[in-house]
Amino acid sequence: MTILGRGGRKPGEPIYLRRHMIALAGAVLSPIVLLQLYKVFIGPLSLDVQLSVILITSILAGLGLYFLYRASARNEP
């Protein structure tokens, strides 16, 4: 059994803060929530449009997460 120092992280393991996890959950849930809100307030969409919206929203959310949090999710020395 190895004893991990400095908060229980292994050397080289990334540091993820609570805000990273909340933003990730938002990025994962946003495509689904947006589609459901559209269906409730406006009307149904075809499967092709639904998949396109999910794909575009996921790509934009992923890029947003990358650019917003790449500096703060650094590795330990």
User: What is the rounded average pLDDT of the residues 35-51?
Assistant: 90
**pLDDT of 75 strictly over 60:** no
**What pTM was computed for the model?**
0.65
Amino acid, res. 48:
D
DSSP result, 6-70: TTTPPTT-B---HHHHHHHHHHHHHHHHHHHHHHHHT----HHHHHHHHHHHHHHHHHHHHHHHT
Any idea where the domains of the chain sit in the sequence? 18-69
- What percentage of the chain has pLDDT greater than the value 90? 25
